[in-house]
Amino acid sequence: MARRFANSTFRSDSTSSYGFPATFEMLSRHTSAIFSIHDIEPIAFFLCERRTRLSKYDALTEFLNRKLADCVPLLFNDIEDEDKIGVQLPKAAREHAAWWANEANAKTRHYQCRAWTEVGWKVESVDFTKVLVVFVRFRN
């Protein structure tokens, strides 16, 4: 289906050179164009359905989000193993309990804390001798 905006014709089922729907590319070039909600719908759907990786801890977030159990003990090596989770922990994670803190303020949380709190988990305990962290699900 071809549509015309701001002297540009594009096909809504085509994709741009960047892999985005042509509607998105058209809107980024013609921000002054006036359009209806029907023209924005495909973009809104695309942006909602396609989540980009925002944090290097997203793999941990996805791992915990898929777990059915309410308690998940993980060895640091399991977290770093590419075949299991694949998140490289910094040196501080292996040395400082504060790195694993469950920070309460959502605006000031560190990225690693957001990785588990935003999907309903908290760190129950960290054992540096066993190189083990225990996550437990919390209920609001």
In this prediction, residue 139 carries a pLDDT of: 76
Q: How far is CA 7 from CA 25, 64, 79, 97, in A?
A: 14, 48, 52, 59
Q: What is the DSSP string of the chain?
A: -EEEETTEEEETT-B-TTSSBHHHHHHHH-TT----HHHHHHHHHHHHH-PPP-STTHHHHHHHHH--SSEEEEEHHHHH-TTTT--PPPHHHHH-GGGG-----TTT--HHHHHHHTTTEEEEEEETTTTEEEEEE---
User: Side by side, which strands form the sheet with 132-137?
Assistant: 71-75, 132-137, 121-127
Q: What does the pLDDT read at residue 105?
A: 82
**What pLDDT sits at residue 72?**
97
Model-wide pTM > 0.85: no
78: left (phi over 0), alpha (psi -120 to 50) or beta: alpha
Q: Which residue has the tokens 């225990």?
A: 134
Residue 34 confidence (pLDDT): 53
Q: Give the pLDDT means over successive 10-residue stretches in the chain (140 positions).
A: 45 44 48 50 45 76 95 97 95 95 83 91 97 91
pLDDT reported for residue 104? 82
